[in-house]
Chain A
Amino acid sequence: MTLYDDQTIQDLEAKAKTIRCHAIKMIYAAKSGHPGGSLSAADLITALFFKIMKHDPNNPHWEERDKFVLSKGHAAPSYYAALAECGYFPIDELLTLRKVDSNLQGHPCRQKTRGVEVSTGSLGQGLSMANGLALAAKLDRSGSRIYCICGDGELQEGQNWEAAMLAAQYKLDNLTLFIDRNKLQIDGPTEQVMSLEPLADKWLAFGWNLIEINGHDMRQILEACDKAKETTGKPTVIIANTIKGKGVSFMEGAIGFHGKAPNEDEYKIALKELGDCA
């Protein structure tokens, strides 16, 4: 188990704040997008791109790279912000999000965006694609690891459970799935719309290695990824308990900000809270 010093943790926390700030700026400039889920997943995305994953922005097709699938494609702003901060494309490009002729589509598109592995947006499909990437890595005897982030509401799509069975059947221990458990979906709390609990029991029953963490605690995220790496013979799911809209006071736990851009006043407050990332 790697020990992470305080400086590493603080640097990643600062980076996550930058990612959140970009996401808000992008959504404000686009006048549309999904702030709530972008902010809840920001710490997970930051940990993966700036610490956990082996990847090379100068060589996006490096064969031994680890691969990332954002199944909850609507959190694209945080994903794009991480890619830009890593150097996959210029940071200036972020403000073209959702505009005509942009490389940054409303949901991730592998044909358009440098560094994006698979196209997502129609929910419930990412884990299956992650399975395919993981099977290919096994076939190629590559050390490449596959990371996927699913939303919690998205788990209502039956395809996830088909995929959960396949990953266990083929012992995909090179696959780590994060569930961004922010407990809210468009129409309300997940437990009211279509209950997911007991969620941990479901994954255990499907034959997965289970870890449960606070998805905003950088040290817990890193250590969970390390535990997943050490697990053999089964895939790992990390239930990351998060807060929708995390980092912007009035967006936290607010269903209204699932898929709505902030207005000018809200935007100014949000930037103030996040510190300007420019």
Chain B
Amino acid sequence: MKWMYTSQRKEYANALTEVGKERTDVVVLDADLSSSTRTAEFAKNFPERFFNCGIAEQNMIGTAAGLAAAGKTVFASTFAAFATGRCWDQIRQAVAYSNLDVKIVATHAGITVGPDGATHQALEDIAIMRVLPNMTVIVPADGAETYKAIKAIANYKGPCYVRLGRSDVPLVTSMETPFEVGKASLLKEGSDITLAACGQMVAICLEAAEELESRGISAEVLNVSTIKPLDKDAIAKSVEKTGCIVTAEEHSIEGGLGSAVCEFLCETYSVPQQRIGTPACFGESGESDALMKKYGLTKEHVVEASEKVIRRKKQ
């Protein structure tokens, strides 16, 4: 497949600037990574509504909560590893427990952070954000969806976690396709297997679906960009038709999208499922493509898991 590549971070900056123009009650915080997260763009346009908190994420989240308690809609950004793990208790007590309008938009998530290595590769962030009551978790598939998701959450009450990558990713949605918080979208219809993915794994699942098609297997592809609340109806509708599912995410197989789908299906539709994600281990330094291959996140891995789950269905 020939893809057009888009930057999620650039679209975050674009959407944030739009939101800043439309609403004077929107405030942005960063922890000394504004040139990387691209909140610097907002800072340039609205300097009085941007606060750099320095390399101090716990205080950034607490400050965000205070601003939100005073009626502001707050976007707080840094790398995903620090935005979630470093200040989980602050997010839990100050943001989620209080159900405040704080939008944590984290960049550099996943293994594709690459050469910086395990310390900077957030592979557990979906898991630890997803277990927090009141929290909404969104993993956009591409640049266009990032733009739409940011615009949507600005007007969506309550805490949100949005997970973005560092690298440019294939464009699988368009500016025109609707985005709604909590709704999965059907990108390709099929009848033999459901491929449910988030982030850049959506593009990889579309490639896998093409490969499966050539092997006579009809795969349905769902873009599950909101992991919490999970679009149970869309998943149920798809597996009722296909009878098996593969989930795919650039995150540990423990606790992320795959787990959310397992939790739902085990109590409703007991269909065979395989999870694609990094094994439950830390990452390492390397080029993005090499890491995606080593940690099991390629088209070939999705195809292999699909054939396995279809065999299980037939047993």
Q: Which residues of A contact B (CB under 8 A)?
A: 67, 69, 109-111, 117-122, 125-137, 139-140, 158-159, 162-163, 165-166, 169-170
Contact A125 B98 (CB under 8 A): no
Contact A109 B97 (CB under 8 A): yes
Q: A111-B97, A166-B53 are in contact. List 6 more A-B contacts (CB 8 A).
A: A128-B90, A129-B63, A162-B59, A163-B62, A165-B54, A166-B51
State which size class the interface on B falls in.
Answer: 20 to 34
Complex CA distance for A134 and B70, rounded to whole angstroms: 9
Chain B residues 135 to 184 lying within 8 A of chain A, measured CB to CB, are none
- Interchain CB contact (< 8 A) of B67 among A120, A135, A162: A135
Contact B66 A166 (CB under 8 A): no
Q: A135-B66, A139-B49 are in contact. Are A118 and B94 (CB under 8 A)?
A: yes
Contact B89 A132 (CB under 8 A): no
Beta-carbon nearest neighbor of B134 in chain A: A111
B290 neighbours in A (Cβ, 8 Å): none
Complex CA distance for A120 and B94, rounded to whole angstroms: 7
B38 to chain A, nearest CB (A): 22
Contact A136 B67 (CB under 8 A): yes
CB-defined interface of B62-73 with A at 8 Å, one 1/0 digit per residue? Answer: 111111111110
Q: Which residues of B contact A (CB under 8 A)?
A: 27, 48-49, 51, 53-54, 56, 58-59, 61-72, 74, 89-90, 92-94, 97-99
Contact A118 B98 (CB under 8 A): yes
Complex CA distance for A69 and B58, rounded to whole angstroms: 17
Complex CA distance for A117 and B66, rounded to whole angstroms: 9
B24 to chain A, nearest CB (A): 9
Contact A118 B65 (CB under 8 A): yes
A166 neighbours in B (Cβ, 8 Å): 51, 53-54, 56, 59, 63
Beta-carbon nearest neighbor of B24 in chain A: A139
Contact A131 B98 (CB under 8 A): no
Contact A129 B99 (CB under 8 A): no
Contact A129 B54 (CB under 8 A): no
A110 neighbours in B (Cβ, 8 Å): 69, 98
Q: A132-B64, A159-B62 are in contact. Are A170 and B69 (CB under 8 A)?
A: no
A131 neighbours in B (Cβ, 8 Å): 59, 62-63, 66
Complex CA distance for A140 and B99, rounded to whole angstroms: 22
Q: A128-B65, A139-B48, A170-B51 are in contact. Are A111 and B98 (CB under 8 A)?
A: yes
Contact B93 A122 (CB under 8 A): yes
Beta-carbon nearest neighbor of B57 in chain A: A162
B27 neighbours in A (Cβ, 8 Å): 135-136, 139
A123 to chain B, nearest CB (A): 10
Contact B93 A128 (CB under 8 A): no
B89 neighbours in A (Cβ, 8 Å): 122, 125
Contact A132 B54 (CB under 8 A): no
Complex CA distance for A118 and B93, rounded to whole angstroms: 10
Q: A136-B70, A139-B49 are in contact. Are A129 and B56 (CB under 8 A)?
A: no
Closest 7 pairs (CB-CB, A-B) = A132-B66, A128-B62, A136-B70, A162-B59, A162-B56, A129-B66, A132-B67
Complex CA distance for A132 and B69, rounded to whole angstroms: 8
A140 neighbours in B (Cβ, 8 Å): 70
Can you list 26 A-B pairs, Cβ within 8 angstroms, ordered by A?
Answer: A111-B97, A118-B69, A118-B98, A120-B93, A122-B89, A125-B62, A125-B90, A125-B93, A128-B58, A128-B62, A129-B62, A129-B94, A132-B69, A132-B70, A132-B74, A133-B70, A134-B66, A135-B51, A135-B63, A135-B66, A136-B27, A136-B70, A137-B70, A163-B63, A165-B54, A165-B56
A50 to chain B, nearest CB (A): 23
Beta-carbon nearest neighbor of B61 in chain A: A128
Beta-carbon nearest neighbor of A148 in chain B: B66
B53, B61, B69, B70 — most chain A CB neighbours (10 Å): B70
Contact B93 A121 (CB under 8 A): yes
B56 neighbours in A (Cβ, 8 Å): 159, 162, 165-166
Beta-carbon nearest neighbor of A71 in chain B: B62
- Interchain CB contact (< 8 A) of B65 among A111, A132, A159, A165: A132
- Interchain CB contact (< 8 A) of A163 among B51, B59, B93, B98: B59
A109, A130, A132 — most chain B CB neighbours (10 Å): A132
Complex CA distance for A165 and B49, rounded to whole angstroms: 19
Q: A125-B62, A132-B63, A139-B27 are in contact. Are A119 and B53 (CB under 8 A)?
A: no
Beta-carbon nearest neighbor of A67 in chain B: B70
Beta-carbon nearest neighbor of A158 in chain B: B58
Complex CA distance for A175 and B295, rounded to whole angstroms: 49
A159 neighbours in B (Cβ, 8 Å): 56, 58-59, 62, 90
A129, A137, A169 — most chain B CB neighbours (10 Å): A129
Contact A128 B99 (CB under 8 A): no
Complex CA distance for A69 and B62, rounded to whole angstroms: 12
Complex CA distance for A111 and B74, rounded to whole angstroms: 19
Beta-carbon nearest neighbor of A159 in chain B: B58
A145 to chain B, nearest CB (A): 13
A170 neighbours in B (Cβ, 8 Å): 51
